[in-house]
């Protein structure tokens, strides 16, 4: 089978021939039809001291199951988060990380919707939104952010403000339901919001917190780090919550599954529209990473083995 790999930090991605992996106990062997490219994986390629397997969101057909697997069998269509080599023709997925893909959806729909949607929905839930409140979504054109804009609206936000890296993304974000769009370098982000969902981190944390009204909430779920001043929290009685999807997946599987069902129902109802910016073959994985690294994407970037 083909597999994408690299040998050093910032080293070139290349396709190699590799043996088809085996499904061990509790695992599924999946023929990959679509692979979602994520910013955390792109960052690891550029920042990790040692090469890592290129994992992430995959979707496709189960071709074999390991011992003890009870929820799936060969022929089922699934999606989930692969922690091993996912940029490949075949990948191994643990049963606990897999979910079925309904018949009305494609593999591309699945990788654009499920994992990114779970992060967006989880971050939104961590903000404890109330009907009629206003929301800010940073990274609003990203794979997660473009779903967060739609979910905030679906959960009753009266006003949604999207923040993006460049003005060329404004029309796209408005088409998702945002009332206003600002760029990160804008000196004034307008009327403060009740809660903010920050996907960017780093230097953007401070202006994101400043955009929150007194007594409001900031949820950060970025892998980009960043630092806040305690005084900025105290003076406005604001709260900051860190959100990590892995904690929900491991510690609250019932909630994780309920959120997955909600996402598919919203998709079936037409209330949630995952957008794919571009699809690339495995051989062009480096081009896919370049799109993410340059923040050029509007929606999800997908590899098609």
pLDDT score at 179: 97
Please check whether residue 286 is in contact with residue 12, taking contact to mean a CB–CB distance below 8 angstroms.
Answer: yes
Higher pLDDT, 64 or 248: 64
Higher pLDDT, 249 or 299: 299
Q: Which of 55, 242, 221 is nearest to 145 (CA)?
A: 221
Assign 97 a pLDDT band (cuts: 50, 70, 90).
confident
Task: Please compute the mean of the pLDDT values over residues 163-177 and round it to a whole number.
Answer: 96
Counting residues of the chain whose pLDDT is more than 90, the rounded percentage is: 83
Distance from first CA to last CA of the chain, Å, rounded? 10
The least confident of 36-40, 63-67, 192-196 is 36-40
Q: Give the number of other CB atoms < 10 A from CB of residue 218.
A: 25
Q: What is the pLDDT of residues 100-114, one digit of tens each?
A: 999 999 999 999 999
Would you say the pTM of this structure is higher than 0.75? yes
Q: What is the Cα–Cα distance from 144 to 94, expressed in whole angstroms?
A: 23
pLDDT score at 222: 85
Please check whether residue 86 is in contact with residue 304, taking contact to mean a CB–CB distance below 8 angstroms.
Answer: no
The dihedral region occupied by 261, where left means phi > 0, alpha psi between -120 and 50, and beta the remainder, is alpha
What does the domain layout of the chain look like in residue ranges? 2-101+275-303, 117-245
Assign 40 a pLDDT band (cuts: 50, 70, 90).
confident
Assign 49 a pLDDT band (cuts: 50, 70, 90).
confident
* Phi (first) and psi of residue 271, to 5 degrees: -85, -10
Q: Which residues contact 226 (CB under 8 A, 6 or more apart)?
A: 201, 202, 203, 204, 205, 206, 220
Tokens of 241: 């919550």
pLDDT score at 46: 85
CATH superfamily for domain 2-101+275-303: Medium-chain alcohol dehydrogenases, catalytic domain (3.90.180.10)
Tokens of 261: 């069902």
**Mean pLDDT for all residues in the chain:** 94
Task: Please compute the mean of the pLDDT values over residues 241-253 and round it to a whole number.
Answer: 88
Residue 246 pLDDT > 90:
no
pLDDT score at 290: 95
The least confident of 137-141, 183-187, 247-251 is 247-251
Task: Please compute the mean of the pLDDT values over residues 231-239 and round it to a whole number.
Answer: 91
Tokens 């062997």 belong to 29
DSSP annotation of 12: P
Task: Please compute the mean of the pLDDT values over residues 249-259 and round it to a whole number.
Answer: 88
Helices (H), 7-38: none
- What CATH number does domain 117-245 carry, 3.40.50.720, 3.40.50.620, 3.40.190.10, 3.65.10.10? 3.40.50.720
Assign 274 a pLDDT band (cuts: 50, 70, 90).
very high
Assign 136 a pLDDT band (cuts: 50, 70, 90).
very high
């Amino acid at each position: 089978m083909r597999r994408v790999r690299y040998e050093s930090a910032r080293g070139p991605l290349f396709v190699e021939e590799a043996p088809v992996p085996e499904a061990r106990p509790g695992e599924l062997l999946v023929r990959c039809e679509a692979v979602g490219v994520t910013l955390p994986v792109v960052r690891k390629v550029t920042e990790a001291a040692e090469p890592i397997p290129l994992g992430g969101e995959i979707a496709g057909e189960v071709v074999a199951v390991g011992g003890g697997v009870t929820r799936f069998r060969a022929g089922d269509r699934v999606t989930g988060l692969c922690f091993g080599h996912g940029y490949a023709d075949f990948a191994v997925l643990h049963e606990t990380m897999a979910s079925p893909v309904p018949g009305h959806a494609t593999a591309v729909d699945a990788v654009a919707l499920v994992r990114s949607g779970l992060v967006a929905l989880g971050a939104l839930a961590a903000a404890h939104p109330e009907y009629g409140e206003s929301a800010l979504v940073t990274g609003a054109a990203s794979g997660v952010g473009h779903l967060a804009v739609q979910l905030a609206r679906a959960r009753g936000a009266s006003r949604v403000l999207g923040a993006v890296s460049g003005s060329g993304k404004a029309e796209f974000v408005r088409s998702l339901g945002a009332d206003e769009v600002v760029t990160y370098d804008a000196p004034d982000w307008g009327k403060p919001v009740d809660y903010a969902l920050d996907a960017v981190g780093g230097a953007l944390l401070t202006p994101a917190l400043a955009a929150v009204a007194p007594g409001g909430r900031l949820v950060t779920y970025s892998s980009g780090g960043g630092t806040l001043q305690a005084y900025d929290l105290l003076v406005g009685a604001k709260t900051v919550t860190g959100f990590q999807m892995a904690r929900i997946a491991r510690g609250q599987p019932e909630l994780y599954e309920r959120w997955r069902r909600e996402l598919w129902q919203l998709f079936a109802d037409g209330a949630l529209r995952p957008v794919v910016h571009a699809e690339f073959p495995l051989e062009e994985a480096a081009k896919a990473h370049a799109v993410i690294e340059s923040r050029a994407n509007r929606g999800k970037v997908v590899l098609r083995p």
